Amino acid sequence: MKYTVKIIAVCISCLWVLCACKGASEQPVVQSISLHTELGGNADGFTRACGGREFRFPQDHGPHPEFRNEWWYVTGNLKDKKSQAFGFHATFFRIANRPYNTDQPNSWAASQFYMAHFAITRHGGDQVRAHERFARAAAGLAGAQAEPFRVWLDDWSINATQQSRADKPEWLLKLGDGSDHLELVLTAQKPITLQGDQGYSQKSSDPCNASYYYSVSRMTASGSLSIDGQDHRVDGTAWLDREWSSSALADDQQGWDWFALQLDDGRDIMYYQLRNNNGDRDPQSYAAEIDRTGGRKILSLDDIDLEVTRWWQSDSGSRYPVAGQLRRTDTGEVIHYEPLIDNQELPLTVRYWEGAIMLSNADGESIGTGYLELTGY
């Protein structure tokens, strides 16, 4: 999944600032930067994910600064009292600029920085409302800690509540920018799911091109949301992804489509397909089903068939497959998906489509909600 993120993180470290000072430098330093030099090589000095490890909570909710990239990734679907539907996306990325060093000359010295994205979508709205922030992991401006759990960037934060338990986190999410605000209590409804092989998620043939990856695939979300200055009391479900790594991408990967589906019958399905340059699905793609009690079953890629039914073109020119159907050949189950609204392309430092989707069965009946991430388009 959240390769996206990875890429984003990477891209950020690449593209980053560029646009900022156009007059500043005639030769953009970007020229030589590629995803692969960022994600593939140059992991010197960082710890790499080369095999299984033992996950421990609450420690692993906190940061792993010896790895290059890490994120706390929450998406979800909400409804207010009048059944107005909303989607939200809140992510904190930790990105290392240099290998971690605890011996710093002063409190501002930083070898890492944080980027955070906050986006909300209203059903019927024109477009997603997205916000982005950066801050160094120093001087108390941004950071993360395991106990009590906290990740923050400026006044955007996720904090553990008093009721939070290591294996059943309850977190308070607080984000806001301008006339958009979101304050939610997220309570885990299922235990922590270790993705891949006991949390070790290999991304290419090199066993060290991998990440550590766990999810809480269903959390209740309850709180308040302000969108464009309008306040709503909201309830719904959220999905938490946690991943950290130092290098993961293969040379021939172009992008991916990631699905986080929460079905009304209590099952959650995660599916990501990595797309190679020739448009094929990469064998390192992944699908899993989590039952109502949290039991995980890895699905065979051969049993998943994705068919796009509608493309949407953004003003920036990218075309995204925003609607389609997932067919499971093993059970015959068909899940149709449609975006909450089409324009959920995030116009941030790195553009990608990350949006709430509505799920329905072959008869057109609503069967759940989810989040879809589309990159490399």
Partner 1 sequence: MVTVPVSGNTLMSSALPVFVKSSLRYWQKHRWQVLLMLIGMALGVAVVFAVEIANASAKRAFALSLDAVTGRTTHQIVGGSAGVDEQLYTHLRTEAGFRRSAPIVEGEIAIGSESFQLLGVDLFAEPMFRDDSTGSNSVAGRGRASLQLLDSGSALLARTTVQRLGLKIGDHFSVSVAGRDATLHLIDVIGGSRQAAFESLIMVDVSTAQQLLDRNGRLSRIDLVIEDPSELDSIRGLFPSHEIIESQTRNASLKQMTQAFHTNLLAMSLLALLVGAFLIYNTVTLSVLQRRQMFGALRVAGVTRRELFTAILLEATVFAVVGTLLGLLLGLILGNSLLVLVTRTINDLYFTLDVRRIDVSLVSVAKALALGLGAAVIAAVAPALEAAGSAPATVLQRSSIEKQARGMVPLLALVGTALILCGALIVWISSSSLWAGFAALLFIVVGYSLLIPKALMFAAGLVSGSSGWLRRFVGPMGHYPVRSLTASLSRTSVAIAALVVAVSATAGVGIMINSFRYSVIDWLGQTLTSDIYIRAAESQREAIPDALKQDIAALDGVTGLRVARGTEIEASGSPVRLLALQFSGNGNNGFSFRKTNGQGHWQRFRSGDGIFVSEPFAWKTGLTTGDRVRLSTDRGIVDFTIEGVVTDYSAGQGLIIINYASYQRYWTDNAITSIGLQLQPDVDIERFKPGLRDVLARYPMEFSLRSNREIREVSLDIFDRTFAITHVLRLLTVGVAFVGILSALLALALERRQEFAVLRSIGLTPSELRNLLFVQSGLMGLVAGLLSLPLGLVMSKLLVSIINVRSFGWTMDFQVPAGVLLQTLLLAVAAALIAGIYPSAMLSRLPPAQALRNQ
Report d(CA 174, CA 188) in Å as an integer: 17
Q: Does 311 bind partner 1 (CB under 8 A)?
A: no
Q: Which range of residues in 48-56, 133-141, 206-214, 310-318 is near partner 1 by CB under 8 A?
A: 133-141
Measured CA distances, 336 to 319, 333, 369 (Å)? 19, 10, 11
Does 20 contact partner 1 by CB under 8 A? yes
- In angstroms, what is the minimal distance from the CB of 151 to partner 1? 12
Residue 21 beta carbon to partner 1: minimum distance, rounded to whole angstroms: 6
User: Measured between alpha carbons, how far is 120 from 285 in angstroms, rounded to an integer?
Assistant: 28
Binding test (CB under 8 A) with partner 1, winner from 8, 43, 85, 110: 110
Distance CA 98, CA 38 (A): 12
The nearest distance, CB 198 to partner 1, in angstroms, is: 34
Please tell me whether residue 362 binds partner 1 under the rule CB under 8 A.
no
Applying CB under 8 A, which part among 42-50, 127-135, 219-227, 235-243 lies near partner 1?
127-135
Question: Is residue 154 part of the contact set for partner 1 (CB under 8 A)?
Answer: yes
Binders of partner 1 in range 161-200 (CB under 8 A): 176
Nearest to partner 1 of 14, 374 (CB atom): 14
The separation between CA 242 and the C-alpha centre of its own chain, rounded to angstroms, equals: 8
Indicate the Cα dihedral angle 335, 336, 340, 341, nearest 10°: 150
Conformation bin of residue 103: beta by default, left when phi > 0, alpha when psi is -120 to 50: beta
User: Which listed range, 29-37, 54-62, 71-79, 211-219, lies at the site for partner 1 (CB under 8 A)?
Assistant: 29-37
Binding mask 79-98 vs partner 1 (x if CB under 8 A, - otherwise)? ------------------xx
Span near partner 1 by CB under 8 A; candidates 129-137, 243-251, 278-286, 309-317: 129-137
**Backbone φ and ψ of 8, nearest 5°:** -60, -50
Q: Are 144 and 62 in contact (CB under 8 A)?
A: yes
Q: What DSSP state is assigned to residue 197? A: B
Among the listed residues 147, 148, 155, 283, the single contact to partner 1 using CB under 8 A:
155
- Three-state DSSP class for 57? coil
Residue 23 makes CB contacts below 8 A (sequence gap 6+) with none
Task: Report how far residue 289's alpha carbon sits from residue 326's, in angstroms, rounded to the nearest whole number.
Answer: 13
- CA 104 vs CA 136, 138, 357: distances in Å: 14, 10, 45
Q: Which stretch binds partner 1 (CB under 8 A): 252-260, 291-299, 309-317, 346-354?
A: 346-354
At residue 35, the 3 state secondary structure works out as helix
Asked if 364 touches partner 1 (CB under 8 A), the answer is no
Q: Which stretch binds partner 1 (CB under 8 A): 152-160, 165-173, 205-213, 287-295?
A: 152-160
Structure token pair of residue 89: 């996306």
Q: How many residues at the interface with partner 1, by CB under 8 A? A: 44
Site for partner 1 in 242-261 (CB under 8 A): none
In one-letter notation, the amino acid at residue 318 is S
C-beta of 11: minimal distance to partner 1 in Å? 11
Among positions 35-74, residues that touch partner 1 (CB under 8 A) are: none
Candidate residues 152, 259, 271, 320; the one interacting with partner 1 per rule CB under 8 A: 152
Q: Burial of 159 by CB count in 10 Å (0-12 exposed, 13-18 middle, 19+ buried)?
A: middle
Contacting positions for partner 1 (CB under 8 A) = 13-14, 16-26, 28-30, 33, 97-98, 105-111, 113, 132-136, 138-141, 152, 154-155, 157, 176, 347-349
